[in-house]
Amino acid sequence: MRGFGRVFKRGSTYWIAYCYRGKEHRESAHSDNEAQARKLLKKRVGEMGQGRLIGPSEERLTFEDLANMLLTDYEVNGKRSLESAKLSIKHLREFFGSERAIDITLDRVRSYVRERQREGAANGSINRELAALKRAFTLATRAGKLASAPYIPLLEENNSRRGFLDHGGFLALRDGLPAHLKDPVTFLYLSGWRVSEMRTLEWRDVDLSGRELCLRPEVSKNKDGRPLPLRGELLEIIQRAHEKRRPDCPFVFHDDGKPIGDFRKAWKTACKKAGLAGIIVHDLRRTAVRNMVRAGIPERVAMELSGHKTRRVFDRYNIVNDADRARATELLQSHLGAQSSERKVTPLPDRRHLA
């Protein structure tokens, strides 16, 4: 193998040396057998011939290493989606286990997708997991631990929710909620804020005299603060909360001094009482956006109030339902009915005279 590297011995262990892109690499064969060392050297020469030297560090990198890099990145950067990333890693770990990173190929990724689909996972959920895997590979390549990352395509998502409430339905649902949840849930219905934003709202964010509150950037999903004017029922909600303000609790909305926790069970019970099957809390956000647009609020202003950054997401919430279509038909009929019943025929020009 002269000219392509060499085999030498250190103590009782054989080593190999080879040049790649102008740099000499030395690597232990972890064996006292010269034939094993030459076999490893031949493998490295083959990799170099393909323009992709894997090397010992890449061969040792496992899925667990990728997972640790991803979670560390989330923790260091204070990403609020850390818990979501942990859940994605949990699903990925069940399939990839302790596999080497270089063995996670496109074929393996497709096998993972098929397995998750057989388990009944939605495409959106699978995409979040694939996105976490892609991010982990990106971090590994940037750190120089991998020369390249596999192609990981995402799935088509056609499962976006279309749930919303009419005003009567919301009032019926609210009646079935515990007392400490009525105002917080009404706040969500009127503001279009996320549940997490409502939970973390503190009195330092509220200016009652100026009738405004402002979401802090550090608790916003998109890390942008935004003001919310307080008028009408929104103002009344904050005023009632102020009357119940406790010196030992910084939160505007609380349950006897404790932060508002997970209330899915209470929500489900209230929905059942109101006859609203399949409605989730996040549907209040969609409903708020829809109501803003129908109330004549300019879409740009509605986006600022609700905190939507992309038009694509905003459009998904501004749902057209059966009532919208019926209203459009009524408007068309009204327009046609206002036209004169007298026939007006406009003759076409005689093309013979135009020739």
Same domain, 195 and 230: yes
352 within some domain: no
In this model, does residue 347 exceed pLDDT 70?
no
Q: How many other CB atoms sit within 10 Å of the CB of residue 56?
A: 13
336 within some domain: no
Q: Say what the pLDDT of residue 2 is.
A: 47
Same domain, 202 and 309: yes
Measured torsion, CA atoms of residues 162, 130, 78, 194, in degrees rounded to the nearest 10: 0
Same domain, 200 and 88: no
CA angle 297/300/303 to nearest 5° reads 90
Same domain, 175 and 310: yes
DSSP string over 65-123: HHHHHHHHHHHHTT-TTHHHHHHHHHHHHHHHTT-BGGG--HHHHHHHHHHHHHTT--H
Between 318 and 289, residue with greater pLDDT: 289
pLDDT band at 132 (very low <50, low <70, confident <90, very high): very high
Same domain, 40 and 121: no
Residue 5 Ramachandran class (φ > 0 left, ψ -120 to 50 alpha, else beta): left
CATH number of the domain that residue 239 is part of: 1.10.443.10
Range of 291's domain? 167-317
58 within some domain: no
In 3D space, the residue among 159, 135, 162 whose CA is nearest the CA of residue 149 turns out to be 135
Q: Is 261 exposed, middle or buried (0-12, 13-18, 19+ CB in 10 A)?
A: exposed
Q: Say what the pLDDT of residue 169 is.
A: 93
Same domain, 88 and 184: no
Could you give the percent of the chain with pLDDT greater than 90? 48
The string of pLDDT tens digits covering residues 96-112 is 998 989 889 999 999 99
Q: Say what the pLDDT of residue 322 is.
A: 57
> What average pLDDT score do residues 327-349 get?
67
Same domain, 43 and 176: no
Of 57-61, 148-152, 309-313, 323-327, minimum mean pLDDT range: 323-327
Q: Say what the pLDDT of residue 78 is.
A: 82
Q: Say what the pLDDT of residue 278 is.
A: 84
Report the domain count for the chain.
3
Q: Say what the pLDDT of residue 352 is.
A: 60
199 within some domain: yes
Contacts 24+ apart (CB under 8 A), 315-323: 316/160, 317/285, 317/286, 317/289, 317/290, 318/289, 318/290, 318/293, 319/162, 319/164, 319/286, 319/290, 321/164
Q: Say what the pLDDT of residue 41 is.
A: 87
Of 41-45, 161-165, 277-281, 328-332, minimum mean pLDDT range: 161-165
In 3D space, the residue among 188, 203, 193, 287 whose CA is nearest the CA of residue 246 turns out to be 203
152 within some domain: no
Q: How many other CB atoms sit within 10 Å of the CB of residue 135?
A: 18
Same domain, 32 and 89: no
Distance CA 195, CA 282 (A): 8
Q: Say what the pLDDT of residue 159 is.
A: 52
Same domain, 29 and 97: no
251 within some domain: yes
Q: Say what the pLDDT of residue 23 is.
A: 74
The string of pLDDT tens digits covering residues 60-96 is 799 999 999 999 999 998 887 888 999 999 999 999 9
pTM: 0.58
Query: How far apart, in Å, are the Cα atoms of 37 and each of 18, 25, 52?
Result: 12, 14, 20
If you average pLDDT over every residue of the chain, what do you get? 85
Helix (H) or strand (E) holding 263: none
Spatial contact of 316 and 283, defined as CB atoms under 8 Å apart: no
Same domain, 299 and 211: yes
The string of pLDDT tens digits covering residues 243-255 is 999 999 999 999 9
Q: Radius of gyration of the chain from Cα atoms?
A: 31
Same domain, 220 and 78: no
Of 22-31, 121-130, 171-180, 259-268, minimum mean pLDDT range: 22-31
Same domain, 103 and 244: no
The string of pLDDT tens digits covering residues 15-63 is 888 887 677 878 788 889 999 888 888 887 877 776 666 566 677 799 9
> What average pLDDT score do residues 229-243 get?
95
Distance CA 280, CA 306 (A): 18
In the numeric block, which tokens belong to residue 324? 């919208």
